Copies of this chain bind each other. A is one copy, B any other.
Amino acid sequence: MRIVDVRERTISISRYRDPALGGGALTTSLVAVVTDARRDGAPLTGFGFASFGRFAQGGLIRERFAPRLIAAAERDLAGADGAIDPLRAWSVMMRGEKPGGHGERCVAVGALDMALWDLAAKAAEMPVYRFLSHAAGTQSLRNEAVEVYAGGGYVYPERDVQRLVEEIQMFSDLGYARVKIKIGDSDLARARARIEAVLEGVPASSLAVDAMNAYDASHALAAASALRPYGLWWFEDVCDPLDFDTLRAVKAAYGGAIAAGEALFSLAEARLVHRYGGLDPHCDILLFDPVHCYGIPEYLRIVAELERAGWPRRAFWPHGGHLFGLHVAAGLGLGGAEVNPFAFAPLGGLHDGARIVDGRVAPPDAPGIGFELQAAARAAFATLR
C-alpha cells in the first residue's frame, strides 16, 4: 500500500455554538491521506485534522511533511501485513527534523498522524481505539466507555454569565455531569462571578476551570488563593506553559488539583513539567494534546515515560474535545477525555447520537475514527477533493 495523495484545507472554527459571536480567529487543517488501495469502490482514505486551539498548518503539511509521505517507498511505510503502519509512516515524516523547536510542525505532523491512524484502522477493519490498543500493547487497559466532561464556557462578548449558565444547562441536557469553563481572559472578580454562577447547578467537584496560560506569576498566585476555597475539580493552564517556577509556586499555594500540559508539545517538554513543575502524580492532571504533540507515536512515549516516573494513566486527560481524543483515551486506558459539544464545529463533539451514560461514553465501533458517523465532520472532509 502506498500513499498517492495528501489533501488539506484550512477551515475557520469558533469557540461558540454561534460562530457569529467570533472567538479568536481560530483555524484548523483538515487532511485526507489517500492510498492506492480500494475499499467499497473508492480509494482507501484516512481523515484527520489539527485538533483545536493552535492554527492551521497547510504550508508545513504541503511543503514539508506530505511530500515525504508521498515520496516514501512502500517498504518504508508498510507493516508486516502490507498495510501502512502509522508508526513507520511517522518516522518517514520526521526524517531530518532537528531537536528543539516544538511548535507548529508538531501540529502539522499530528494532523497527518491522525489520518494515518484512521487509515490503518480502516484497513484493519477496526475502530481506532481497538487498533491503537493492539499497536500500543494496551489491550488489557482498554476502556470501551470513557469518562468524559464537557469543555467550553468561553467568555461571551455580551450577557456573559447568562449565556454561560445556558451553555452549562445544555451540557447537562446532553448528559454531561462534569464541565470545564474558561476564566483566564477575565479579571478575578469576573472569574469568581462565572464560577459561582455555574456552581448553582454543578457541584464544585465536577467543575474544572481553565486560565488559558494567561496569568503572569503574581496574577497566578492571586488566582490560586481566590480559587482555593471552592474545592474545584481542577485548575488548568495557570501560567505560561514553560514558567515552571510559577507553576510550582501555584501548586504549593493552591493545594488542590492542577492541570497542565495543553501547551506543551513534545516529550522533551513533558519531561520538563514533570521535573520542574512541582506537580503531584497522585492528584494532578496532564492535558497534552496527542494531535499537537506530533501525534500518537510521541504521545505514547510521553505516557510511557511519565508512567515509569510515577504518573498513573488516570492522570492523563488529553486536550482536544473531539472523536479522536475519545478513541485515544479509550485505547490507552487514560483517565478520560474532553468533549467540546458546541465549540469548534464541524469537528468538536462526538459521533451523532453518542449517549453519555453515568458520565461515560464509548467510541463508535465503525472502522477508523468514525467521522463518517458525525454528519458535520463527514461533510467537511467530503470537501477534500
Contacts and interface: CB of A to CB of B under 8 A. Distances in A.
A239 to B, nearest CB: 9
B245 A268 contact: no
A263 B99 contact: yes
Interface in A33-87: 53-64
A104 interface: yes
A70 to B, nearest CB: 16
Q: Which size bracket describes the interface of A in this complex?
A: 35 or more
Nearest to A213: B99
Contact of A100 (B56, B63, B242, B244): B242
Nearest to A55: B64
B101 A263 contact: yes
A241 interface: yes
A61 B243 CA distance: 28
Contacts of A25: 96
How many copies of the shown chain assemble into the complex? 2
Contacts of A292: 101
Nearest to A262: B100
Interface in A221-258: 240-245
- Counting chain B CB atoms within 10 Å of each CB, the highest count among A56, A60, A99, A213 belongs to A99
A63 B55 CA distance: 10
Contacts of A240: 99-100, 268
Contact of A242 (B64, B96, B269): B269
Interface in A100-122: 100-107
A275 interface: yes
Contacts of A96: 24-25
A275 B245 contact: yes
Nearest to A266: B242
Contact of A276 (B56, B104, B214, B276): B276
Contacts of A264: 100
Nearest to A239: B99
Given A53-B98, A58-B63, A276-B276, 20 more contacts: A56-B63, A57-B59, A58-B59, A59-B60, A98-B213, A99-B240, A100-B240, A101-B102, A101-B106, A101-B265, A103-B106, A104-B104, A104-B105, A241-B268, A242-B266, A242-B269, A243-B268, A243-B271, A244-B272, A245-B275
7 contacts: A58-B63, A99-B241, A100-B240, A101-B104, A101-B265, A102-B102, A242-B271
